[in-house]
Amino acid sequence: MRGSTTGLTATVAAVLAALSGCAGSPAPSVPDAGPARGLTQTEQIRVDQAEQRLIQQCMKRSGFRYRVAPPADADTLRAFTHRFVQHDVAWAHKHGYGENLKKAFFSTKGHDPNITYRKRLSPAERRRYTAALTGGPDTPTLSVRLPAGGAIRTLDGGCEHFARRKLYGDTAAFFRADKIATNAFALYMPKLMRDPRFTTGLNAWSRCMRGATGRAYANPDAARADARNRARGLSKSRAHVVEVEVAVAEATCADKTALPWTLSSLDHKYGDPVRARYAAEIATSNRMRLDALRQADLLDDRD
């Protein structure tokens, strides 16, 4: 977002993945379709951790060490869930936009034992490590064309392939279905953003923010950018105060103007027909994620 509704596409899309959070319930990873549901955040974490453990076992068989990092806590995960507009006043009072949580996360990632271990290997062993993890020069590449155009590609080899195959089964089928399911929003975003209910709600939020902060914000991303700019050069505690002040105002104005719920309603209006068009891919993605969850539970029982 760059200060106007013309730059909102990516950010509005991000909130649509978490819209059910408006009601306080966990958001599925993809919209429900048919008998297969999406995973909750907690369930997806179990699958991700199982994938890491499978990679660890595979790397060990190749003669390399691989550490499984503990999952991030709920507040940290929430800090990285980009919502179009902050609407939890209590969370904003405590964490602002979650900048301190993000910094702590990246600080931990900066000391990732897997990166340290790889750097200590000889050049030849580093190449062998990479080949064991992601595949060598002849590793096949998965590719899928997205509903709104463009393509996503990824390598499908090494221990990462082994882990995904163990959990999801057909890695190529899952990659195709999942990327289509989670990127179909791009087909209807332009219509959603042109809807008068969206522009009216956004303008109402902007007026509320001017009254609450004395500053003109065209959209929530502009408010966050301003908070970051004003926090530069301040002490950690003072920067947090600035961040919390803006975040609380954003959440309060979101409640007053019902902007998140307007977005949810518009997502149903414009998104449901698109999701119906890609119902097969969405159902496949959901079903394969549920299969992966069952496999993760079996791995837990064996440990």
Spatial CB neighbours of 168, under 8 Å, sequence gap ≥ 6: 174, 288, 289, 291, 292
Distances (CA, A) of 179 to 46, 95, 182, 215, 281: 20, 32, 5, 39, 9
pLDDT of residue 303: 63
Segments of 174-271 assigned E as strands: none
What tens digit of pLDDT does each residue of 50-99 get? Answer: 999 999 999 999 999 999 988 989 999 999 987 889 999 999 999 999 99
Tell me the residue type at 121.
L
CB half-sphere exposure, 24, CA atoms < 13 A: 4
| Over residues 255-270, mean pLDDT | 95
CA angle 100, 104, 110 (to 5 degrees): 140
Q: How far apart are CA 286 and CA 288, in angstroms?
A: 6
pLDDT of residue 302: 73
Q: How far apart are CA 295 and CA 91, in angstroms?
A: 34
pLDDT of residue 101: 94
Sign (positive/negative) of CA torsion 121, 127, 131, 134?
Answer: positive
| Over residues 220-245, mean pLDDT | 95
What tens digit of pLDDT does each residue of 164-216 get? Answer: 999 999 999 999 999 999 999 999 999 999 999 999 999 999 999 999 999 99
Residues in the chain: 303
Number of other residues whose CB lies within 10 A of the CB of residue 264: 18
Give the model's confidence band at 32: pLDDT under 50 very low, under 70 low, under 90 confident, else very high.
very low
- The DSSP secondary-structure symbol of 27 reads P
Q: How far apart are CA 24 and CA 212, in angstroms?
A: 25
Residue 154: strand pairing partners? 142
Using CB atoms within 10 A of its CB, is residue 128 exposed (0-12), middle (13-18) or buried (19+)? middle
Q: Provide the whole-model pTM.
A: 0.81
